[in-house]
Amino acid sequence: MIRRSVPLAALILLAACAGQPPKGPVCPEGMTPMLSDTLYFGTARAGGVVSAVEWERFVRDEIATRFPQGYTVQEAEGQWRNADGSIAYEHSHLLVVVHPADKDEHSDLAMQRIADTYKTLFGQQAVLRARSDTCSPLP
């Protein structure tokens, strides 16, 4: 008789999957599960930097129009490794938007368009995007 057994690791994995919590954070009463997206915009570019006037225009035309319900912009100093391996230190801007994980993915597409537009307008290699689950008192 051939005896077959399921490895212990597979049983543990099955048990863990069966009891997985729902996607997103478990929020305390009065709080709503939301997403927090942060975009990191470097300002160094060939021939100079993105000026304060250019940044203000970008915020007005590209960010405020896509997120009229609100957002936060912060100033920062950052480091970036260039394609040639050299390190660049530069002034940066951070955009933070807390939004619902909407079914039509409006907010997700808006964040991607903001990043793509910035890269095109200001000759950037990348715009870093970080996303996390959060809880908010907003509905």
Per-residue pLDDT of the chain (139 residues; tens, 9 = 90+): 444 443 434 333 334 444 444 566 788 998 888 889 999 999 999 889 999 999 999 999 999 999 999 999 999 999 988 889 999 899 999 999 998 876 557 888 999 999 999 999 999 989 999 999 999 887 6
Residue with tokens 């250019």: 54
The phi and psi torsions of 124 (rounded to 5 degrees) equal -95, 145
Contact between residue 41 and residue 128 where contact means Cβ atoms under 8 Å apart: no
A 10 A CB-CB count for 37 gives 22
Tell me the two tokens of residue 37: 């997206």
pLDDT at 104: 54
Any idea how long the chain is?
A: 139
| Residue 24 confidence (pLDDT) | 64
Residue type, 106: H
Domains of the chain: 29-136 (3.30.70.120)
State residue 91 phi and psi, 5-degree precision.
Answer: -70, 145
